[in-house]
Amino acid sequence: MIVCFAIQNVLLPTLISLYSNMGAPAPDPVFVLRGAESPVTAVTFLCVAEGQRENYIAAGTQNGKVLLWNLQIKSKVAEWEAHASTSIHWLYSESPDILWSQGRCDSVKAWNIQSSSPHLIATYPLMDYLGFSSSHIIQVNNSTKLLSLPGPSQEGVTVWDVDKKFKISTLMPLDAKAYGSMMQPRWIKMEDIITLAVLYESGRITLWDWANSKILSQHQISENPMCITFDELSQTGIIGTASEKIFVFKIDSDLNISIMKEFSITNAGVSSCVIRPDGKLFAMGGWDSRIRLFSSKKCKPLAVLIYHKKTVECIAYSKGDIEDLGGGFILAAGSSDKSVSLWNIFN
């Protein structure tokens, strides 16, 4: 705890030397998952059934495989080819039994993972989209679940009603070329309103009225945005970019997006960002192979985690406490170096 407190007030580049000067050990991962044959491009913790003791984590790889580890016994319990020869850009756990995956230039698939040989239960095609965007799901109410996925073409987003298998809308800016490639869609819930935030290569961040394919509001940032995350409680979010710049934004009740803060990290390129479920911290995975942690309130740098040898492609927080790894929220990072590191830090 003393270490955590002391490092809150120092600048990012001095953090690592500070750790060594104080004689405090630099934090290490609590565990590292190996066994992937190719870069790890997506990671998610699975939902836990009531009364279930084991926690599981899933990783997707550049060669289209999904690997499942049991974190109690720390072993791989399943591996299958989810998307033939194409990288997996998104994994999402809907329930302890259902895992979603998205393959690049392929499709979004839902898997029943109850047995050790998971089986496909639904497929939603991606149309002519060649980028690296992920998809996103939101449970609107008991009868409706919405899926947003990349395409058609490089600039579009398609919205599906998952259970009805009905394509609700296609979101395409009128002047699509000026927006550039679609980078990532993200559902945003504001009290009773659900809108879809979409990042574009040109730096535009738009909020869509997904039911009517209309832009509600938008904002322009100076950089190419790579990833977005949002905390419903504080109604603020983080955007990581292809440069050193990070943006903190808020959405007000008129659905107006505004930038609250802008700051820089040492090296350019953030591939993935996530807010811890309690809203207190956020974490970013960098092209420079580092993981950076910040306080949500003041965006103070808290730690730079150095373990991976190549780009950190994806990061995720556990949905709750994981006792088998020391308790508290666990942060997972998947890397091009083919490993997944697990961290128990600032709990």
Ligand X SMILES: *[C@@H]1O[C@H](CO)[C@@H](O)[C@H](O)[C@H]1NC(C)=O
List residues near ligand X by CB under 6 A: 140-144, 254, 256, 258
State the nearest-atom distance from the C-beta of 258 to ligand X, in Å: 4
State the nearest-atom distance from the C-beta of 284 to ligand X, in Å: 24
Nearer Cβ to ligand X, position 261 or 309?
A: 261
State the nearest-atom distance from the C-beta of 246 to ligand X, in Å: 18
Interatomic CA distance for residues 291 and 285, integer angstroms: 5
State the nearest-atom distance from the C-beta of 231 to ligand X, in Å: 19
Nearer Cβ to ligand X, position 111 or 124?
A: 124
Nearer Cβ to ligand X, position 20 or 256?
A: 256
Nearer Cβ to ligand X, position 9 or 141?
A: 141
Count helices and strands (H / E) in the chain: 3, 28
Nearer Cβ to ligand X, position 5 or 166?
A: 166
Nearer Cβ to ligand X, position 175 or 192?
A: 192
Dihedral (C-alpha) 80, 86, 87, 91: value to the nearest 10 degrees?
-50
Where is 21: in which H helix or E strand?
helix 15-21
State the nearest-atom distance from the C-beta of 252 to ligand X, in Å: 7
State the nearest-atom distance from the C-beta of 215 to ligand X, in Å: 13
What phi-psi label fits residue 212: left (phi over 0), alpha (psi between -120 and 50 degrees) or beta? alpha
3-state secondary structure 288-345: CCEEEEEECCCCCEEEEEECCCCCEEEEEECCCCCHHHCCCCCEEEEECCCCEEEECC
Interatomic CA distance for residues 289 and 269, integer angstroms: 10
The SS3 of residue 7 is: helix
